[in-house]
Amino acid sequence: MLATPLLLSRELPNLQYTSTPNRFDETWESPLSTLLGLGRAAGADFVEFFLERVNYISCLAEDDSITSISPRLSTGAGVRVFRGHADCYVSTNDLTFSGLKAALEKGLSILGLQLPAPGAFVPEINLEPLRDYAVLRGKESWLAQCSSMHEMGEILLDANTRLQQKATHVQSRRAVYFRDWQEVMVASSDGTFARDIRLTQSVGYSLLCADGAHRSSISERAGNTGDPDFLRGWDYASTAESVAESAGRMLYADYVESGSYPIVMANKFGGVIFHEACGHLLETTQVEKRTTPFLDQKGEKIAHENLTAWDEGLTPDAFGTIDMDDEGMPVQRTLLIEKGILKNFLADRAGSVRTGHPRTGSGRRQNYTYAAASRMRNTYIAPGEYSVDDLLASIDKGIYCKKMGGGSVGPTGQFNFSVDEAYLIENGKLTKPLKGATLIGEAKEIMNKISMCSNDLDLAAGFCGSVSGSIYVTVGQPHIKVDSITVGGR
């Protein structure tokens, strides 16, 4: 007995569906299952629909004024079609049945497929009962509970006032906040049928100080996923004190001398180097291109035996935490490196099809205009057995990198990163502040020089750009010691 009804292809133009227009719910099952069946009947090996609604707003306070409020609303869908190892992706703003059908037809034609003949049978795909994380986790009321535009402005202006009180020689003060609310639904021909709501928020300071020829610039940002009261709970007073103190120390700091040094890198955002220089090389997007130096090294040693690293989407409130990825797969913990041994790569569906590595719940995208790709979530070096004092005590002369700045990474792991706040280490103690340091290295080499990890793992919010757009991620690590690295300076 057939579990689902059969349609004739010629009947499709006359079908009527009443999907809920302002919410992705069970009413979308029938039209999506029909379209998925149509794609399979046309000869596609796999078809996936991704539906999205976004309600975004950002607010910027510069000195004592609100200078920008930027709202954005969007709705759209994307369809991905696979035929063997080849795939294509088409997006649309038209979420009617005919609009989604037109996008599907375009995707099929790109792969040399066409809709079945008028008399052909089109089975509906038997989708699972809707796996609704928004309902299961109580997310439906999140948007209404968030701060209003008026409240955003008041908090940011109060924060900037506090920064003015704490800092000296202030050139400019900026406080910025954004809230990104997203509803998504995924339906695919393997039976996946899932929905989620995500709420991602970030707030932070940027302070520029100047005194004659002396300048310093310090930024600090916090991020959260899932707490509508996040902005209200921002401790901007203590953050202002920390940012002002760092800027004051760096204002008159000496410039670092170029050379090769052992370094201690602080926890939290220090993990950005591991994310950029190594994490991307463990995504199957790099494996497909054969651009990762770790291509055939699964099960082999690629890092110091004291280094273990994870990627996961489960840490409560972390910036890269999600209940499901953008292909509808529940998230999980993925062990990347264990005691220096490469254990796993991060794989989305396309990456798994083309490389053979198992999917890890890592298919992510910026929005519906992008096909999902293998991307990081919360990625960090695991805590070790040492204290921070142990790391410092092991260095006669080196550099402590407290705050990392921007940088760039080459396709195979060559990197350079600026250090916004640094200190000289002499005989195991922190002495004078240093500025102008740039860390220069290559991932495959540096991974084997991370010889000590402290026991103070902490995480920080970040933004990651790659083939599927810009996404929210967490970087992190405990304090780590790198035995030697090239430091650019004066």
Look up residue 435 and give its two tokens.
């500025």
How confident is the prediction for the chain on average, in pLDDT?
95
Per-residue confidence band for 2, with pLDDT thresholds at 50, 70 and 90: very low
Query: What sign does the CA torsion over 484, 486, 488, 490 have?
Result: positive
**Residue 188: exposure state from Cβ atoms within 10 A (0-12, 13-18, ≥19):** buried
Per-residue confidence band for 5, with pLDDT thresholds at 50, 70 and 90: low
Sequence letter at residue 48: E
Planar angle of CA 46, 52, 53, nearest 5 degrees: 170
Look up residue 12 and give its two tokens.
């499709």
For residues 379 and 45, what is the distance between their CA atoms, to the nearest angstrom?
33
Instruction: Write out pLDDT tens, residues 229-250.
Output: 999 999 999 999 999 999 999 9
* pLDDT tops 60 at residue 4: no
Can you say how many angstroms the Cα of residue 240 is from the centroid of all Cα atoms in its chain?
26
Per-residue confidence band for 488, with pLDDT thresholds at 50, 70 and 90: very high
* pLDDT tops 90 at residue 455: yes
* pLDDT tops 80 at residue 165: yes
Instruction: Write out pLDDT tens, residues 105-158.
Output: 999 999 999 988 877 788 889 999 999 999 999 999 999 999 999 999 999 999
Per-residue confidence band for 6, with pLDDT thresholds at 50, 70 and 90: low
Question: In terms of DSSP H, where are the helices of 189-319?
Answer: 236-251, 272-277, 284-289
Q: What is the rounded average pLDDT of the residues 187-192?
A: 98
Instruction: Write out pLDDT tens, residues 13-25.
Output: 777 788 898 999 9
- Report the share of the chain in percent with pLDDT over 70: 99
120: left (phi over 0), alpha (psi -120 to 50) or beta: beta
The DSSP-derived string for 147-208 is PPHHHHHHHHHHHHHHHHHH-SSEEEEEEEEEEEEEEEEEEETTS-EEEEEEEEEEEEEEEE
**SS3 assignment, position 489:** coil
Query: What sign does the CA torsion over 16, 20, 22, 28 have?
Result: negative
**SS3 assignment, position 470:** strand
Question: Angle between the 29-41 and 97-110 helix axes, to the nearest 10 degrees?
Answer: 20
- pTM for this model (two decimals): 0.94
- Report the share of the chain in percent with pLDDT over 90: 90
Pick from 397, 438, 433: nearest CA to 254: 433
Among the listed ranges 141-145, 288-292, 342-346, 424-428, which one has the minimum average pLDDT value?
288-292
CB 189 within 8 A of CB 96: no
Instruction: Write out pLDDT tens, residues 440-452.
Output: 999 889 999 999 9
Q: What is the rounded average pLDDT of the residues 316-320?
A: 95
For residues 165 and 149, what is the distance between their CA atoms, to the nearest angstrom?
25
Q: Which domains does the chain have, with CATH numbers?
A: 6-56+73-135 (3.30.160), 142-187+194-253 (3.30.160), 259-488 (no CATH)
The DSSP-derived string for 98-129 is HHHHHHHHHHHHHTT--PPPTT-EEEPP-PPS
Can you say how many angstroms the Cα of residue 278 is from the centroid of all Cα atoms in its chain?
15
99-136 b/e (C-beta count within 10 Å ≥ 16 → b): ebbebbbebbeebebebbeeeeebbbbebeebbbbbee
